[in-house]
Amino acid sequence: MGKNLFHRLENIEDVEDFYEAIDRKHLSQSLSPERPYTYWTIELYDKSNGIRGGGGLGVLAADTRRVAERQQVPFTLITPFYPSESHQTYLNFENGAYHEQVSYAQYGFNFVDTINIKACGQICTLDVVEKILGSTRILCITEPNFGELYSGESGGDHRLYQEVSLGFGGYQALKLVGLKPAIMQLNEVATFFAALARLDELASNGMDFYEAVVYTRKHTLYTNHTLVQAAEAEFSYDQFERYVFPNLKSKAVKKWLSDKFDNGRIRLSTVTIEIAELRSGVSKLHARVANYHDLAGNKVKFKAVTNGIDIPTWTLPEIVNYLKKKNILDKFDLPGEKYLENVDKIEASEIKALKEAGRAELNRVLSHRLDQYGNHPVIEGDALIFDFKRRFVDYKRPWLPLTNPERLAEILEKYNIHYFLAGRVHEGDWTMAEKLRNLLETVDKNPILKKRVHYLPDYDEELGRALSVGANVSINTPIVGLEACGTSWMKDIINLGILVSTHDGGVADCPSDSYLCVSGKTEEEEVESLYQRMEEAAKAWRSDFDLEILIKTELKNFVPVISGSRMLRDYLNYLF
């Protein structure tokens, strides 16, 4: 690997330094450019490389690759390139959508060759395209009718086609570019077919079937993001006859897979558990409570590897420089030696100056984004900004702060707060579209809310970053027990914002007094707690003493959690 390739990594000599920093000096024997860490995902959220995702699963995939690139770890991410992507519009209380065509060439992908898979008695030819980024590469399979991310019903034929293409097609693509996977990380069960393709290759090339199973299992990591196995979609035997079995060469593998059906139906998690000996959950809480069973009926144990973020991607550069200068972060974006003592030296005046720079950045982005009335909601002066930004889904409870509109209006007015709400409704989710409409009608009826609550449609990475960088307080209120990890709150904390959150997902990696915790035995109590926390947070921004305590406490607890390099270290430790 030529050093000139890594001009972004000025301070890092080479990957050996990183391996040493994470105490894994011998890793270069396990990982090499020809034998990379392989990461399989149906969703990638990395628009700068042309691929838009739907939410946290894709953001995590993009960040994992970016961290690997930054630390020069040999890493290949295999994912579909979707030729079409959906966007949300919102005007006159109507949730709408438009679709955009995307071409891989426009984003710097190079065509490698084609591969074939079999489906419904036909040969489907897919393009293999790749983009090399430092020590990493994004390897995609695609064809003009591949469709959009999560198009059609989950459990439907088109999804199965997409998943089979990624697995069997992606596995052939790896061989086309001359790579052998040192490890296969399956980012959720939609990527099961990649491990199946490997098993089939081994078993059809002369390896004893049971040896092939053992080998595949040893080198496959299944990363679970879901809580309840029963919530997962099922496929039928008939669907497998059309899309899956025709791609298998080994009779033994086909028999093994057929035996896993129960009453003619199968859940991919059932077989993913069988094929992956390594299994992880995405936060401490999630790994503990995810309720999965193997075929023998035993509860599956998940190793907790809490998600992290690629800090430079999501943080205002001025803040990254500040955290590095203070040695709160080291050159690998790991917590610096003595970071606890260094966090104690932070001053409120510095936090405020950095947040002012963040506000300017947010306003720059808002000047080309629209609110629910079609205006650009730029916020000037010393108003505070609160935000709620995440997919518009039930369990995240985007309506919670609006439970009592008068109370919210009173708080916003009293402390001069503007409240930003961002989050896409999944296309076709009429229930949530209706909830969004009700919410924004409530806002419209109250003159204070109408002035101070701004809904930003088409939530994406740009908005996610801008709000994290520019908002003073962020609100995160999933129903406790339902968020696997979440990463947007990490972006808020690292950008020196105050977090108001329920004790769930990765937030619960740290004690509940590490941030402003929303709690209560009933939803009513939680709402009351939320309003109190919002007031506390607003007051803290008007009091240097309180602000320092809150921000320091957050950083002391969460910097190690947030660090994407820490996450990569944890995965490497678990895998090798």
User: Which residues of the shown chain bind ligand PLP in the complex (CB under 6 A)?
Assistant: 55-56, 59, 390, 459-461, 464, 486-488, 491
Residue listed under structure tokens 């941030």: 515
* Structure-token match 């004893």, residue found: 208
Q: Which is nearer to ligand PLP, 254 or 491 (CB)?
A: 491
Closest CB 500 distance from ligand PLP, rounded Å: 14
Among 304, 309, 310, CA closest to 282: 304
Parallel, antiparallel or unpaired: strands 122-133 and 110-119: antiparallel
Phi, psi dihedral angles at 503 (to 5 degrees):
-90, 85
Closest separation in Å from C-beta 554 to ligand PLP: 16
Shortest spacing between CB 210 and ligand PLP, in angstroms: 39
We find the least distance from the C-beta atom of residue 484 to ligand PLP, in angstroms, to be 8
| Residue 224 or 487 with smaller CB distance to ligand PLP | 487
Kindly tell me which of 199 and 285 has the beta carbon lying closer to ligand PLP.
285
The answer to whether the Cα torsion of 338, 344, 347, 352 is positive or negative is: positive
User: Whole-number minimum distance, CB 18 to ligand PLP, in Å?
Assistant: 24
Instruction: Identify which of residues 138 and 507 has a Cβ nearer to ligand PLP in the complex.
Output: 507
What is the rounded CA–CA span in Å between residue 545 and residue 381? 22
d(CA 266, CA 326): 53
Q: Phi and psi (nearest 5°) for 535? A: -65, -45
CA distances from 323 to 111, 334, 369, 544 (A): 41, 11, 30, 19
Q: How far is the CB of 132 from ligand PLP (least distance, A)?
A: 25
In angstroms, what is the minimal distance from the CB of 231 to ligand PLP?
17
Least CB distance from residue 59 to ligand PLP, whole Å? 4
Task: Tell the burial category of 300 from Cβ atoms under 10 Å away from its Cβ (0-12, 13-18, 19+).
Answer: middle
- 254 or 397: whose CB is closer to ligand PLP? 397
Rg value, the chain, Cα? 24
Shortest gap between Cβ of 98 and ligand PLP (angstroms)? 18
Q: Distance of alpha carbon 467 from its chain centroid, rounded? A: 17
Q: How far apart are CA 388 and CA 295, in angstroms?
A: 40
- Residue 339 or 459 with smaller CB distance to ligand PLP: 459
Contacts (Cβ under 8 Å, ≥6 apart) of 394: 431, 432
Q: Kindly state the smallest distance separating residue 490's Cβ from ligand PLP, in Å.
A: 8
Identify which of 172, 185, 183 has the alpha carbon closest to the alpha carbon of residue 139.
172
d(CA 167, CA 556): 41
Q: Closer to ligand PLP by CB, 134 or 464: give it.
A: 464
User: What angle separates helix 348-366 from helix 544-562, to the nearest 10 degrees?
Assistant: 70
Q: What share of the chain is helix, strand, coil (3-state, %, to 5)?
A: 45, 20, 35
Nearer to ligand PLP, 50 or 336 (CB): 50
**18 or 558: CB nearest ligand PLP:** 558
Give the residue with the Cβ less far from ligand PLP, 167 or 308.
308
Cα dihedral value 295, 152, 243, 118, nearest 10: -140
**Nearer CB in complex with ligand PLP: 439/456:** 456
**Cβ(165)–Cβ(196) under 8 Å?**
no
d(CA 15, CA 75): 12
Q: Which residue has the tokens 């209380």?
A: 93
User: Residue 92 is encoded by which pair of tokens?
Assistant: 């006159």
Q: How far is the CB of 88 from ligand PLP (least distance, A)?
A: 12
**For residues 82 and 193, which CB has a smaller minimum distance to ligand PLP in the complex?**
82
Rounded to a whole number of angstroms, the minimum distance from the CB of residue 481 to ligand PLP is 15
Q: What are the two backbone dihedrals, phi and then psi, of residue 454, each rounded to the nearest 5 degrees?
A: -120, 120
Greatest Cα-to-Cα distance within the chain, rounded to the nearest angstrom: 74
Residue 349 backbone dihedrals phi, psi, to 5 degrees: -60, -35
